[in-house]
Chain A
Amino acid sequence: MSVLSGWLVPGMPHPYLCPEKNRGWQKLRTAYETARQSIEALDADLLVIYSTYWPSIIGHQIQALPNPVWTHVDEEWHELGSIHYNLRMDPEFAESCREACVARGLHARTVAYHGFPIDTGSVVALKLLNPDNRLPAVILSSNVYSDRAETIVLGKACRDALAQSNRRAVAISVSALSNRLFIEPIDPAEDRIHSLKDDEWNRKYLEFLQLGRLEDVSQLSRQFHREARVHKVTNFKPFWWLAAFMGQNNCYRGEVHAYEPVHGTGAAIVELTPTSMAARDLEYDEDDPDAYAGDRNVLGSLNDAPGMDGDDES
């Protein structure tokens, strides 16, 4: 079992639909092409994607339709055009992930419905990283209520499923870094990171990633969320999942292939390759949960605990 490489990729459609409109978007497109070639050179069996563009509420959802086909239009960027997709999923591994999630206490289910709205981020990533469906993929949702423990356990569950399958995977987190965007239309040629503060935080994160310090980045997620993210969800989770799936350490060779603005957001393509050389300055100081036992609900009464399965009525 192994995760051959890990990736951070952005999910905005601009590098796919209109890279020619901005030099930075073109650089992201070129970096996506580099990523595709790098992944192709690996002897991988599948792609495992965690997309922050796919929110879920009822636990964690896992895409399991063998061959989703649709013409996708982004709800925000509809004027950029339509994306026709014909994807190849791995239902067997999706089910293995679900079972592994449940075994670790998570509420999880597979989804396999024609017309299911696969999110823009996953579609863009798969169109650019796996255009010929050479590898099957699995896509995991990002639960809006989940926080660190739950997300780390989700990553560990994926790792369990991979170990059980004896397969070799590429791990992909689809997410922006800073996600504050301009709320008015802009001239694409004048795109920039929304603020200097966002830019500085993005660059600090990328500096760590360049050094292969994935676990340290994971443990900085809360801070990054406070400083550089619009608080649409509870926290900044893509590195929690990625680090947990890849083994919770700093033993990677990092390479930042591109970092550019997309309508004000921080878009980066980063490659992390496992290596025996550990980065310095290890700061593993957070809990390392192995199973999820629900929210601790430290501020509420017992009756406040969310749950609809009857367990909370005892």
Chain B
Amino acid sequence: MSEGSIVLGALAPHPPHLIYAENPPQNEPRAECGWEVLRWGYERLRRSLADKSFDVLVVFSPHWQTMVGTHFLGVPHFKSISVDPIFPNLFRFHYELDVDVTLSEAICEQAAQMGMVTKMMRNPDFRVDYGTIISCHLTHPAWDKPIVAISSHRSAKLFNTEYMQANALKLGEATRKAVLASGKRAVLLASNSLSHRHFVTEPPLPEDMSKEHITHHGQYLWDMRMLDLMRKGKTRELIDLMPDFTDQTIAETDSGALSWLIAALDYPEYGADVHAYGSVIGTGNAVVGWDHESYGGRS
């Protein structure tokens, strides 16, 4: 078996608003427009993937929240409807997807060997979280590739962001080792926003873009600083700043998703492609790609 590889890594946030505005047939609500810049960014991400072959999408989602370790989907096929508990008016999505259970188990086992608490999710009635679904759909709407879905261990809340990050980095390393050993070609998705202070009200027309802006200038400055580090390939500095950034902007990086991605990519020193940045109900979101294979699959 040839060695596996990480084809591409992406920061692929999951605001349900982007699906809502995109109007895919799977989603029940219909929109007139909205959040185009971010959706165009996802278009560019998809274009960057178009000429690459890959076997599996591995996604780390902040919206599968677990307290007792990190969990992995372990059922081969799911079909259901996902309704966003926060924005049910925007996201009621009929999904059907396959899971690469073999790779899930491999990452789960590798992380366990490295000292992490892990668990496979084997209940066929389980509903896949909307973060996983949205990031996968916007990255690869054909749904013709299996996924591996990884939960977010809420250690930032249980302990602190430093502890969270230490675990996320270890999980990233475990993911890289398992992918390389699998012989598969994987695309990795960190399904999180950057700054994450929401508005607590919604305009009557959710896609009214005259109401959309970042919640706070300070959040914008922090987001730009993090994106600048990504563009310059300064991922070690990015990781060093992550706890402070997370605490200052109540960022969704508290999930560990972005730290996991950077570690899985082995701290790339090449510049990332920032495909788009925009706010969604006040939160800061960026679509960012690390074209890992073009750089020899190395940092």
Contacts A73-B125, A117-B83 given; indicate if A183 touches B117 (C-beta within 8 A).
yes
A141 to chain B, nearest CB (A): 8
Contact B86 A56 (CB under 8 A): yes
In the complex, how many angstroms separate the beta carbon of B156 from the nearest chain A beta carbon? Answer: 10
Residue-wise interface mask of B (118-152) relative to A, using a CB-CB cutoff of 8 A (1 in contact, 0 not): 01011101110100000000000000000000010
A75 and B65 form a contact (CB under 8 A): yes
CB–CB A307/B199 < 8 A:
yes
**Residue of chain B at shortest CB distance from A300:** B216
Interface of A (DSSP majority class): loop
Please name all residues of chain B whose beta carbon is closer than 8 Å to the beta carbon of A182 when the two chains form the complex. Answer: 68
Interface members, chain A 253-295 (any B CB < 8 Å):
263
Q: Note all chain B residues with C-beta closer than 8 A to A185.
A: 68-69, 117, 119
Chain A proximity of B153: nearest CB distance (Å)? 8
**How distant is A20 from chain B, measured CB to nearest CB, in Å?**
19
Do residues A306 and B83 form an inter-chain contact, with CB atoms below 8 A?
A: no
Q: Interface on chain B toward A: helix, strand, loop, or mixed SS?
A: loop
- Identify which of A58, A115, A117 contacts B87 (C-beta below 8 A): A58
Assess whether A82 is in contact with B81, with CB atoms less than 8 Å apart: no
Question: Are A54 and B123 in touch, CB under 8 angstroms?
Answer: no
Chain A hits for B126, CB < 8 A: 73, 75, 78
Interface residues of B in 180-218 (CB under 8 A from A): 197-203, 211-212, 215-217
Residue of A nearest to B153 (CB): A183
Decide if A304 is an interface residue (CB 8 Å cutoff). yes
Cα(A111)–Cα(B202), bound, Å: 14
B202 touches A58 (CB 8 A): yes
Inter-chain CA distance A57–B86, complex, in Å, is 6
Minimum CB–CB distance for B6 against chain A, Å: 27
- From A116, A182, A183, A310, name the one whose CB has the most chain B CB atoms within 10 angstroms: A183
Chain A residues whose C-beta falls within 8 Å of the C-beta of B292 in the assembled complex: none
CA A117 – CA B125 in complex, angstroms? Answer: 13
Given contact pairs A59-B200, A181-B68, A231-B157, A308 touches B83 in the complex (Cβ within 8 A): no
Pairwise interchain contact B123-A183, C-beta atoms closer than 8 A: no
Please determine whether A308 and B67 come into contact, CB atoms closer than 8 angstroms: no
The answer on a CB contact under 8 Å between B64 and A309 is no
Selected contact of A57 from candidates B125, B151, B157, B200, CB within 8 Å? B200
Tell yes or no: B25 within 8 A of A by CB.
no
A190 within 8 A of B: no
Cβ-defined partner of A309 (8 Å) among B157, B198, B211: B211
B129 touches A75 (CB 8 A): yes
Bound state CA distance, A55 and B68, in angstroms?
A: 20
Contact pick for A54, options B85, B157, B197, B216, CB 8 Å: B85
A143 at the interface (CB under 8 A from B): yes
Question: Given A81-B123, A115-B92: A75 and B64 within 8 A (CB)?
Answer: yes
Residue pair A76, B201 in contact (C-beta under 8 Å): no
Q: Which residues of B contact A78 (CB under 8 A)?
A: 71, 121-123, 126
Q: Would B68 and A308 count as touching, CB distance under 8 A?
A: no
Indicate whether A189 reaches chain B with its CB closer than 8 angstroms.
no
Contact between chains at B203 and A76 (CB < 8 Å):
no
Pick the residue among B66, B85, B157, B203 that contacts A117 (CB under 8 A).
B85
Q: Is the CB of A183 within 8 A of B69?
A: yes
Report Cα–Cα, A72/B83, bound state, in Å: 13
- Contact, CB under 8 Å: B157 / A232: yes
5 contacts between A and B (CB under 8 A): A75-B66, A81-B123, A184-B117, A304-B216, A306-B201
Interface residues of A (CB under 8 A from B): 54-59, 71-73, 75-76, 78-79, 81-82, 107, 109, 111, 113-117, 119, 143, 145, 180-185, 230-232, 263, 300, 303-304, 306-310
| Besides the known contacts A57-B198, A58-B87, 18 further A-B residue pairs in the complex with CB atoms under 8 A apart | A58-B199, A76-B67, A107-B201, A114-B83, A115-B82, A145-B198, A181-B68, A183-B69, A183-B117, A184-B69, A185-B117, A232-B157, A263-B68, A300-B216, A306-B199, A307-B200, A308-B202, A308-B211
